Every structure is written in C-alpha cells, then in structure tokens.
Amino acid sequence: MELSLLPLAVVDGLSYAGLLFLISLGLTLICGVFGIINVAHGSLYAFGGYSAATLLTVLMPHTSSTFVLVASLFVTAAVVGGCLGALLERGLLRFFADRDPVLQLLVTFAAFMVLEDVQRMIWGATPVNAGDLASRLGTTDLLGVTFMNYQLWLIPGVALVIYGALQILLRHSIAGRQIVAVIHNREVATALGIHAARVGTLTFALAGALGALGGALSVPTTSFVPGLGAEMIVTSFAVVATAGLGQITGALIAAILIGVARSMAVYTVPELEVVMPYLMMVLVLLIKPNGLFSATAARRI
C-alpha cells in the first residue's frame, strides 16, 4: 500500500470502528445483564438506519440547519431503538429468561427474521441512503488527503462521547449502579431490593438505542439494503468475542483493532476484507480463549 493511502485507510478504519463499537456496546450490555446472545440486535441497527433516512427525507426540504438534521439521527435512534429494545425484552425475552441458552438464541434469531420481514414490508428492497447530510458537513485536508468531516470527526467523536457517558452512567448514577449489580450477581442484586426486571427493560432499551444509533449514523455513508443488519451483527459478535463478554472498554479497543485491520485489508488485500474481523477473532481466541480483556471469574458452586 502506498504511504499516501495510509491516512485514508486509518480514517476509514476509525470511522467504521466507531459504528461497530456502538452496535457492539449494546450487545455487551445485554450479554452482561442477561447472558443472552441477542441476534435480533442486528435488526435494531437496520431499523435505526432506515428510520433515520426516512426522517431526513422529510426534514431536508423544510430546513437548512445541519444541526437539526444531525440531531434528528439521535432522536430517531432513541425513539426507534429504545422502543424496539424494550418491546423485545418485555414482550418476548422476559418469558425465556430462565430457559436453556440455546432456546434463547433461537428465539432472538426468530425475532430477527420477523423484524427483517417487517423491514422489507415498510421500505422494500430498494437501497436507501442519506448522503446529502454527510456532504453538508464539508471536508478537511489532512496530510494531503481530503476527508469528509462526517467520517473524520463526527462518527469517532460520537463513539468516544457515548463511551464516556456510559462510563459515567454506570459508575455515578443509581440506575447505572443497579445495572452493574445485576451484571455481577442477579440473585444477590434482587435480594438487596433491586428490581431486576426493570433493570432488564432499561438495559434492553439502552442497548436498542445504541444499536439504532449505529444504523442512523451509518445511513449518510452507507446504502441500506435488506440483509445489512445480519452482516453488522455477525461482525459485532466478533468484536464482543475478541474483547471478552461484558467488557465495555475492551469492546472499544477491539472495535478499533478490527476496524483498522479491515480498512487496511481493503487497501492492500481486498480479498481479505470480509474475513479480516474473523481472522483477528480466531487469532485472539487461540491465545486467550475468554477474550483480550476478560477477567477471571470465580466458579459458583
């Protein structure tokens, strides 16, 4: 790869890593609180992207404010992702909380298939995007390369802000401490008076909003087509497995490693682009079977 392409590859990788981190963060929270591999999380990513594109299509003829248009992405993610996440937990997964993990996985896969069909019914199979928003934010010349500000600053910046905000939430708020308590030991947390079911709904709503935010931020740079949610959820699983279950900081670092590695492959060996995240995951798990940042846990007897 030519050195002139290195900055472009790094920026592309960090932008992709920011989106991947937001989706993986939701999965990490759900795995931590419920111990469930939520396949349906990929549909929330797709719904966030499609819904954001629809809202932008409505708003753009009526406003020239870039701030309003960007803010609409966050509003869409919070409403669509939060509502769908809470609905999945209260209307479906709550009834399978104590069932076999394999059955839980099959239930989330069934929910994913249903949501995929709903998505096709609403938006069809025509590619959907909102590239005009990314263009409105302009460009920046860096190291002789022109970058879109949307990818250079906005997406990585949002990912870092969300990471910091979540750390503050978990460490310095009552709701966050309750989530941490349920993650560590659900039975003890319930015995201490924590409403575990309410915490579960809150966690699913928050995770859904994060997944939908990943989709909403993707749609100005990516054409959404049926099946994209499945692609992103599988890659997100690679991030979670590489980091270790329940590791928030680890998910950020793993997303950066996988995002940059994938981008480097695009510019050097394009044939390895698709498999690069899984190659890195396999390499890590061969060395550390529980992930890069997993902590040793005591065995419960």
- CA–CA distance, 255 with 264 (Å, rounded to integer): 14
- CA–CA distance, 221 with 256 (Å, rounded to integer): 18
Task: Note the pLDDT tens digit of each residue in 238-294.
Answer: 998 888 877 888 889 999 999 999 998 888 888 888 888 889 888 888 888 878 876
Spatial CB neighbours of 279, under 8 Å, sequence gap ≥ 6: 272
pLDDT of residue 111: 92
pLDDT of residue 298: 37
Q: Which residues of the chain have pLDDT under 70?
A: 1-4, 294-301
Sign (positive/negative) of CA torsion 3, 9, 11, 14?
negative
Cβ atoms of 266 and 274 within 8 Å: the answer is no
Cβ atoms of 41 and 26 within 8 Å: the answer is yes
Strands 145-148 and 139-142: antiparallel
Cβ atoms of 214 and 232 within 8 Å: the answer is yes
Q: How many CA atoms lie within 13 A of 46 on its CB side?
A: 29
- Domains located in the chain, CATH noted: 3-287 (1.10.3470)
Residue 200 one-letter amino acid: G
Separation in Å, CA 234 to CA 38, 43, 148, 224, 255: 11, 12, 27, 16, 13
- CA–CA distance, 97 with 57 (Å, rounded to integer): 39
Cβ atoms of 63 and 70 within 8 Å: the answer is no
- CA–CA distance, 251 with 247 (Å, rounded to integer): 6
What is the pTM assigned to this prediction? 0.90
- CA–CA distance, 90 with 98 (Å, rounded to integer): 14
pLDDT of residue 4: 65
